Structure 1
């Protein structure tokens, strides 16, 4: 087990960054991440895509590299165990403790109990997948399992985040600031399972690669399908994102459009000063399925913005090129639709 020789002193707002590959991990550290979060290459990880994530051997090496740089590494074991297969998730917790992870990010109550009982010195963070958004829920999880940090769901306003942070102290809060969004309640999405038989909550993947098909039609257009369901059609040469049901385009009432959610990225960068003032402990970037160039760019921009805000000045990150669909929203942080 490896640990940093001298853990870095807490910062007013730590920057927690994604890494789906060793290259992305190195990019995050070099760009200024205070902590990096990764997952194992199996269903225990909510970004369970082919070619991503880490074996136990690779994770041990990743922890060692991160610690040599004086940073922290968190391991996301943030799906819910399938009945009869709990040993797979237990083994992931064991592997994380053996690797020397600074924390594990868990959503399932049974896994929290297992980690507390078998690895009492392992720091526990509550995943956003647990959807804990009330003082009572967070206090219970802290008292029952020793949870030390909660990643809050992306449905709270800045005022609500601030009030909740004060109410649950000394439990730390962490919030998402940039990246992909989902219209479903955290940890409750079943759309993918209806079409593919696999749920992101238990299999760790939304729109599994084996179900994705792109077909070129006679006129040159490209259709995107999940199994036998067409969920989008793009003109020849136009950009096409990874197909998911919630961001598909469908025809209804004579109109074709995005019925659930348009491709848009969360970007809460302009709330950084307010999050610091509100006592939030960490800011999280989404994107373990993205490449190292994305990680390097987004992390560097947020590092600059956070440091400027702490120093008393502030400039917004320039991240238009990294936004899904070229558009961004602050989401629920200011909830302008009220």
Structure 2
């Protein structure tokens, strides 16, 4: 494309997580334009026990969302098992039958199957597909008819803006939530410790592989037998994932060798993201509590409304201290970062 025309700015949709029917209800009450959810199986990338939806819950959630003019997006964002792809095919059929407004898909075989058997269904390209340039996204559009692409959290703001100018489909970006240091959709790190791939099983730290060893000097967290952290008495501890463990590297003291537990927070970038022409802002956290969903959604609803009003010439946008204070309660390690959006060391 020569001299591409940037898309006209639009008020971005707020897409929020729902790991349970209660979380879905609270997200709608707090102002989400759409919620995303998954089934109780390995077809979604948050396949934790006690989370996700059965058919009756999906049907109820869709009915409640549609009654309020909102949408439900079904995450079928793991990669099908080469030995048996039928669970992913059934999940596509269930999602369509239950009235999901769109499917969030990573696997090209699942995309192809959904388009062939359900040509009317709206398809979104999952962040798990790891499409980081406009050529890849345009390929998915031309070959599988995707109508939105979720960008991985590895691009700078300038790279996002360049991609959008050349992209044939609307783009969704993450605004808040836990970060993944690996290139989404390609992580194999926890597979070495647990024997289960997060790209097919749906969890990077399956509960069956997690062990907490308590002693007088604190708690040791292990994943698949591998010691990944030691928490002193009274020290806050998070769910153990290998990329956010503390390790001894060479002669260095134990520290976060790969990634610190901290949350993405792009409130300060909202005006630039809107001006870039993004279609939607996504909140991470289907594994988090309904209270997390309610409070984070409420903050982001207020922020998007304020940023859009400022874009339309009604006042000025600024990040309110109360917003940051509320989000800090739910951030990993109570720390915020712009992640890859801002790389001052370049």
| Secondary structure of residue in 1 paired with 2:201 | coil
- How far 1:11 moved relative to its partner? 5.9
Cα distance in 1 between the residues matched to 2:81 and 2:99: 26
Matches within 5 A, 1:17-166: 17-166=16-165
2:187 to 170, 176, 189: 189
Output the CA distance in 2 between the equivalents of 1:181 and 1:337: 19
| Alignment-derived partner of residue 335 in structure 1 | 343
Structure 1 residues 133 and 227: CA distance shift in structure 2, 3 A: closer
Q: 1: CA distance between counterparts of 2:345 and 2:93?
A: 44
Bigger CA drift: 315-324 or 43-52?
315-324
In the aligned structure 1, how far is the partner of 2:40 from the partner of 2:10? Answer: 31
The separation in 2 between residues aligned to 1:37 and 1:337, in whole angstroms, is 35
Residues 76-122 of structure 1, C-alpha deviations (whole Å, 9 max, x = no match):
00000011220000000110000111100000001110010011110
Report the secondary structure of 2:142's partner residue. Answer: helix
Q: Distance in 2 between matches of 1:282 and 1:337?
A: 28
Aligned mates of 2:117, 2:344 — CA distance in 1: 45
- Provide the rounded CA distance (Å) in 2 between the counterparts of 1:226 and 1:163: 39
Structure-1 separation of matches of 2:223 and 2:132? 33
Deviations 1:195-217 (A, max 9, x none): 11111101100110111111111
Look up the match of 2:257. Answer: 259
Per-residue deviation, 1:315: 3.1
Report whether the alignment pairs 1:303 with 2:311.
Answer: no
Q: Quote the residue 1:6 is aligned against.
A: none
Q: Shift in Å at residue 19 of structure 1?
A: 0.5
Shift of 1:220: 3.9
> What is the aligned partner in structure 1 of residue 4 from structure 2?
none
Matches of 1:168 and 1:238, distance apart in 2: 46
Instruction: Give the whole-Å Cα distance in 2 for the aligned partners of 1:172 and 1:71.
Output: 18
The separation in 1 between residues aligned to 2:287 and 2:10, in whole angstroms, is 27
How many matched pairs?
327
Alignment deviations for residues 240-261 of structure 1 (CA, whole Å, 9 cap, x no partner): 1000100111122231111111
In 2: Cα distance, 1:13 partner to 1:77 partner: 23
Q: What is the rounded CA distance, in whole Å, between the counterparts of 1:337 and 1:33 in structure 2?
A: 35
1:273 corresponds to which residue?
271
What is the match of residue 233 of structure 1?
Answer: 230
State the TM-score, normalizing by the size of structure 2.
0.92
Q: Is the 8 A contact 2:114 2:121 kept in 1?
A: yes
Deviation for aligned residue 1:64: 1.0
Uncovered stretches (5+) of structure 1, i.e. residues with no partner: 1-9
Q: State the Cα distance separating 1:57 from its structure 2 match.
A: 2.1
Q: Decide whether the 8 Å contact of 2:10 with 2:274 is kept in 1.
A: no
Report if aligned partners of 2:10, 2:277 keep a CA contact under 8 Å in 1: no
The ranges of structure 1 where at least 4 consecutive aligned residues each deviate by more than 3 angstroms after the TM superposition are none
2:46 aligns to what SS in structure 1?
coil
Match of 2:171 in 1: 173
Confirm whether residue 314 of structure 1 aligns to residue 311 of structure 2. no
1:337 to partner: Cα distance:
2.4
> Equivalents in 1 of 2:75, 2:318: separation in Å?
31
Task: Measure, in 1, the Cα distance between the counterparts of 2:226 and 2:165.
Answer: 46
Distance 2:68 2:166 in 1: 34
Question: Per the alignment, in what secondary structure is the counterpart of residue 25 of structure 1?
Answer: helix
TM-score (norm 1): 0.94
